Chains A and B, each alone.
Chain A
């Protein structure tokens, strides 16, 4: 405190400490200014397009903003209503949690299996890698909605295949008990980006470990369990965190496949879809902002939990 007092003393005499601090700052600035200059486009984007709107949405979550009139302060009323008087909040949360719990493990397992299959020195690897990545590029396009209907509708391909073994399936995509799992299947099918990351991770594992294990007579399964898996844990951890966050934020699959309704009977009403409906369908931007901030907190909790748990199962030994 006294240092600060002295640096701003009216007589204009700066203490040695203050001068040193200022000099350090100037040196730092001269050294780093070009760096900030190069970062400028990103900084403008971050403050203008990410942080700014995020803070505005935090403010709006305490208002009754309806997009057409100026927002009015309502305190915590939005949050209270979400917690106490919104059955759709619970329904949407349940759908999203189901989606996260099923899609992330299945997708990661599938991506790892494909990555291991591709990592066996097969010819034409870049071609296969590109082909397997392709579904991820299709993302949430209308073509996917049509394709999924062709596959999972009552008279779709899946039921045609089931009919061969004498099973008469329902219309999976439009039945409230199964529709969410067609979206899980869509997510698993788009396994491209975790696969690429797994592939890179597998390449990093030294081959001599496998050779040594083979000489000692370890089976392929034992090699996987004792070498591949432990050495891959940092990559698994990274993929799990990224995919979990992505799954919480998933919007387009449900939007395109249910036509924006989240039906039948709210069975595909993702949390983000509900948020979107409230904001843009029902003109409750303030309420939707509150919903968004609750999602932020939930994702933060899941991510924090992942990081806390990581010390018990992730091995960084390089």
Chain B
């Protein structure tokens, strides 16, 4: 598919951007440095990203950048295949879940030697820099902070005449709220909230409030079977009380915004990340809001944390690491770039950029920003990056939760089985 368009012409046309995103072909410009950039996301994110590319190349006429983007599910096979084939793009959008896998296997370039001369992250939250570090080296520049959150359909709450949950709401109260919404029966086949028993961030939040965690820093399971059993038992009671959706409705959820029970009109609340709020609101006719996950007791705290939503990492195979670092630095510290990016990748980590963006945010973006900055005592320390095998662990949690929901397993056996299987996976590495 040979296309010969000028860079500007190409950027003007989002259809062309989509075609390029699908095929990964872009003409090579006869210039000094040619960077390749790959990221996951949709068209909206691509438009913003290419906007920054345009700003950057205006200042750096000796550098050109080829972009490529895919959906989350297709992204990781592609990056892994490119890495294995020695064909890794120079700049890779990286997730907290995968940074350890890639860094430990030597696929990413350590960036600490570029700070602060070329990579100026002086006004970043130190915890977020720590989040991009593995084994004492710095591999990922955070592109924004987010936090886990409950997405609430406020219109549905109003119709049912039920008050929205607040920062202080406990799981027990949340269960009652859910049952009331289901009982109000204002919409057909509508329930209080999504079944979150197989949702990893939600379980992690619950464990953290109990002073536990999902995984330890040295790749072990950091909770006991009794914690997990109590968790599953709580959800079984919600199911009995019709507070949450039945299992066959929950099983339609495929980890995407458009299959969420809130989006499909099946429930008034679901669990997500704050940077996804813009996406949720875009596909909903009703007015949505964000709230924290429920507390286990009215005074329990520290379940939440601010997490780097995604990073830019630089390939260890790159021959133009200097230029790649320049681009990443521009991406997170240039005011025009910050305005182009908005809060679509999370709240900017740099304080100066945060102020620039906050001054011009729309109402939806402001909800996400206010939520993350207003967590207060709900937020605790950032946990260590998930160990190798955590991705598989997430699938195990979901499968066991489904077995319990469909009545094939008891909550107490489910708790034991979860800890056993996770330990087995982590031991395997």
Contact call B80/A265, Cβ cutoff below 8 A: no
Task: Collect the chain B residues with CB atoms within 8 Å of residue A259's CB.
Answer: 73, 254-256, 259
Contact call B105/A69, Cβ cutoff below 8 A: yes
Taking a contact as CB atoms closer than 8 A, the residue among B188, B251, B255, B256 that contacts A174 in the complex is B251
Contact call A282/B389, Cβ cutoff below 8 A: yes
How far is it, in angstroms, between the C-alpha of A260 and the C-alpha of B105 when the chains are bound?
Answer: 26
Within 8 A of A (CB), among B80-137: 80-81, 83-84, 101-102, 105-107
**CB of B395 within 8 Å of the partner chain:** yes
Task: Collect the chain A residues with CB atoms within 8 Å of residue B408's CB.
Answer: 176, 265
Contacts A67-B80, A259-B259 known; A176 to B402 CB distance under 8 Å? yes
Contacts A68-B106, A153-B252 known; A282 to B391 CB distance under 8 Å? yes
Contact call A264/B247, Cβ cutoff below 8 A: yes
Smallest CB separation, A132 vs chain B (Å): 30
Contacts A68-B106, A260-B73 known; A171 to B248 CB distance under 8 Å? yes
Taking a contact as CB atoms closer than 8 A, the residue among B80, B189, B251, B252 that contacts A283 in the complex is B80
- Interface size range on A against B: 20 to 34
Smallest CB separation, B144 vs chain A (Å): 25
Task: Collect the chain A residues with CB atoms within 8 Å of residue B392's CB.
Answer: 281-282
Question: Across the two chains, which residue of chain A brings its CB closest to B404?
Answer: A265
Contacts A68-B83, A68-B105, A154-B189 known; A265 to B252 CB distance under 8 Å? no
Contact call B80/A280, Cβ cutoff below 8 A: yes
How far is it, in angstroms, between the C-alpha of A261 and the C-alpha of B189 when the chains are bound?
Answer: 25
Contact call A69/B106, Cβ cutoff below 8 A: yes
Contact call A280/B76, Cβ cutoff below 8 A: yes
Contact call A261/B254, Cβ cutoff below 8 A: yes
For the complex, would chain B's binding face be called helix, strand, loop or mixed by DSSP majority?
helix
Contacts A67-B81, A153-B252, A281-B391 known; A265 to B406 CB distance under 8 Å? yes
Question: Across the two chains, which residue of chain A brings its CB closest to B80?
Answer: A67
**CB of B399 within 8 Å of the partner chain:** yes
Task: Collect the chain A residues with CB atoms within 8 Å of residue B402's CB.
Answer: 176, 263-265
Within 8 A of B (CB), among A39-68: 66-68
How far is it, in angstroms, between the C-alpha of A281 and the C-alpha of B83 when the chains are bound?
Answer: 14
How far is it, in angstroms, between the C-alpha of A173 and the C-alpha of B403 when the chains are bound?
Answer: 16
- The digit string for A144-177, where 1 denotes a CB below 8 A from any CB of B, is 0000010001110000000000000011011110
Contact call A174/B249, Cβ cutoff below 8 A: yes
How far is it, in angstroms, between the C-alpha of A259 and the C-alpha of B395 when the chains are bound?
Answer: 13
Question: Across the two chains, which residue of chain B brings its CB closest to A281?
Answer: B391
Question: Across the two chains, which residue of chain A brings its CB closest to B107?
Answer: A68
Task: Collect the chain B residues with CB atoms within 8 Å of residue A136's CB.
Answer: none
Task: Collect the chain A residues with CB atoms within 8 Å of residue B48's CB.
Answer: none
Task: Collect the chain B residues with CB atoms within 8 Å of residue A265's CB.
Answer: 399, 402-403, 406, 408
How far is it, in angstroms, between the C-alpha of A113 and the C-alpha of B39 when the chains are bound?
Answer: 49
**CB of B2 within 8 Å of the partner chain:** no
Within 8 A of A (CB), among B389-405: 389, 391-392, 395, 398-399, 402-403
Contacts A154-B189, A281-B391 known; A263 to B251 CB distance under 8 Å? yes
Question: Across the two chains, which residue of chain B brings its CB closest to A69?
Answer: B105
Contact call A263/B249, Cβ cutoff below 8 A: no
Smallest CB separation, B301 vs chain A (Å): 33
How far is it, in angstroms, between the C-alpha of A260 and the C-alpha of B73 when the chains are bound?
Answer: 8
Smallest CB separation, B105 vs chain A (Å): 4
Taking a contact as CB atoms closer than 8 A, the residue among A175, A261, A283 that contacts B248 in the complex is A175
Contact call B105/A263, Cβ cutoff below 8 A: no
Contact call A68/B406, Cβ cutoff below 8 A: no
Contacts A265-B399, A266-B399 known; A68 to B189 CB distance under 8 Å? no
- The digit string for B385-429, where 1 denotes a CB below 8 A from any CB of A, is 000110110010011001100101000000000000000000000
Task: Collect the chain A residues with CB atoms within 8 Å of residue B248's CB.
Answer: 154, 170-171, 174-175, 264
Task: Collect the chain B residues with CB atoms within 8 Å of residue A277's CB.
Answer: 395
Question: Across the two chains, which residue of chain A brings its CB closest to B84?
Answer: A67
Smallest CB separation, A148 vs chain B (Å): 11
How far is it, in angstroms, between the C-alpha of A85 and the C-alpha of B147 when the chains are bound?
Answer: 38
Smallest CB separation, A287 vs chain B (Å): 10
Task: Collect the chain A residues with CB atoms within 8 Å of residue B255's CB.
Answer: 259, 261
How far is it, in angstroms, between the C-alpha of A149 and the C-alpha of B249 when the chains are bound?
Answer: 11
| 12 intermolecular pairs with C-beta atoms under 8 Å apart | A66-B105, A67-B80, A68-B107, A149-B252, A153-B252, A171-B249, A173-B252, A174-B249, A174-B250, A258-B254, A259-B255, A265-B403
Instruction: Name the 7 nearest CB pairs between A and B, nearest first.
Output: A259-B254, A174-B251, A171-B248, A68-B105, A280-B77, A264-B251, A67-B84
| A interface list, Cβ under 8 A from B | 66-69, 149, 153-155, 170-171, 173-176, 258-261, 263-266, 277, 280-283, 285
Q: Given contacts A68-B105, A68-B107, A261-B395, could you give 8 more A-B pairs where the C-beta distance is less than 8 Å?
A: A67-B81, A153-B252, A176-B251, A176-B408, A259-B256, A259-B259, A263-B402, A264-B248
| B interface list, Cβ under 8 A from A | 73, 76-77, 80-81, 83-84, 101-102, 105-107, 188-189, 247-252, 254-256, 259, 388-389, 391-392, 395, 398-399, 402-403, 406, 408
